[in-house]
Amino acid sequence: MRLSYPANVKIVLVPCTGKVDVMHLLKAIQMGADGVYCVGCLEGACHYNQGNLRCRERVERVREILQEVGLEPDRVRMYNLSSGEAPTFVAYAREMTELIRRLGPNPLKNSQPAIRVEEAA
Amino acid sequence: MIVAKRKPFDEILRMIESHRKVLVAGCGTCVAVCLAGGEKEVAVLAAEIDMARRLKHEPIELGQTTLERQCDREYLAQLDGRAEAYEAIVSLACGVGIQFLAERFPKIPVYPGVDTCGLAVNQDVGWYEERCRSCGRCVLDRTAGICPVTLCAKGLYNGPCGGTNRGSCEIDPEQPCAWYAIHERLKGQGRLDCIRAITPAQEWRDTVPRTLIQPGYRKPEKAKA
């Protein structure tokens, strides 16, 4: 179909959305990404039974965290589609892009975290 | 195992509001298994604190570490010479670990990042149920392996009380009556005589800090630092 979707969307491939962790999403926002969304298979159609359902729960947890720290929860969202639905994929990419444009840039973009990992001696 | 739950984020943020350099210290044992204070939870809390403080234009310098256990000196020693670089520590260990960490670094404020909730079994991922109050005088031999101190709302040794209601507790129909369960299991084992004898009331020795020294060991004359 050769459909095009907004160029600002960068794709990170995972074997299943069940692999997506709270920290993956949080880190993206922490480092200044304006928004992150997960696109999983349709609910009830996960090859691994619950991967997309686990992802949805993690997305919900990250949305709560964003609310707690003072950011808009809508910067992180979950979408579902089947692998044959290219037009839906494009529609979601456009919807998310428009949503993020309305929210504006991530205010964390202008500063960097100062976190040091203290390894066990 | 010991289970705990993360304190509300606002509460943690308030504890450290005056500090500009804080160490978030997790524990890799019980609280890691119950998903409250292990390596991953340390990373999430550090990210939350970092984002919240930067959004308030009060940036904070953070350290994150997860010790194997915070209830053992040999692991706490790994922070010697490094903890001192921080103004405060938020510990995600259980209440035992938090206190031992605070004892090791008496000049640094140590704040709890979790509420310790008890000794529990793992019913499913993220779902824990309390089974033991560590009362110090186990009666499970007589009660068919069901603890009346923990599972009876009144902690009765010679139950049930008048509130038992067709297998449920009077506090909540969803809460099983421990003594009904004890009776049913003992009956099934043909051991009802176990609860015919009166069990005397618990001594209140658990109101003072207890020390446990296992057989074959002794208390050192002076605890090593």
Q: What is the 3-state secondary structure (H, E, C) of B200-225?
A: CCCCHHHHCCCCCCCCCCCCCCCCCC
Interchain CB distance below 8 Å, B48 and A27? no
Q: Are A28 and A10 in contact, with CB atoms under 8 Å apart?
A: no
* pLDDT band per the 50, 70, 90 thresholds, residue B207: low
Helix (H, G, I), strand (E, B), or coil: what is residue B5?
A: strand
* pLDDT band per the 50, 70, 90 thresholds, residue A60: very high
Contact A121/B at CB under 8 A: yes
Which among A22, A71, A121 is the nearest to B78, CB-wise?
A121
- Average the pLDDT over B29-45 and give the result: 96
- What is the share, in percent, of chain A residues with pLDDT greater than 70? 98
> Which stretch of B34-38, B48-52, B203-207 has the lowest confidence by average pLDDT?
B203-207
**Which A residues in the span 60-79 are in contact with B, Cβ-Cβ below 8 Å?**
65, 68-71
Domains of chain B, first to last: 2-118 (3.40.50.2300), 136-202 (no CATH)
pLDDT of residue A11: 96
Query: What is the per-residue pLDDT across A68-82, written as a single tens digit (0 to 9) for each?
Result: 999 999 999 999 999
Residues on chain A touching B64 (C-beta within 8 angstroms): 115-118
Interchain CB distance below 8 Å, A26 and B59? no
Which among A68, A111, A116 is the nearest to B54, CB-wise?
A111
pLDDT at B225 over 60: no
pLDDT at A103 over 70: yes
Which among A111, A117, A120 is the nearest to B67, CB-wise?
A120
From the CA of A83, how many Å to the nearest CA of chain B? 29
* pLDDT band per the 50, 70, 90 thresholds, residue B135: confident
Question: Average model confidence (pLDDT) for chain B?
Answer: 93
Query: What is the per-residue pLDDT across B57-98, written as a single tens digit (0 to 9) for each?
Result: 999 999 999 999 999 999 999 999 999 999 999 999 999 999
Name every residue whose Cβ is closer than 8 Å to that of residue B11 and which is 6 or more positions away in sequence. Answer: none
* pLDDT band per the 50, 70, 90 thresholds, residue B216: confident
Provide the greatest CA pair distance for chain A.
55
pLDDT of residue B220: 79
> Which stretch of A45-59, A92-106, B155-169, B210-224 has the lowest confidence by average pLDDT?
B210-224
From the CA of B90, how many Å to the nearest CA of chain A? 14
Question: Average model confidence (pLDDT) for chain A?
Answer: 95
Q: How far apart are CA B213 and CA B204, in angstroms?
A: 20
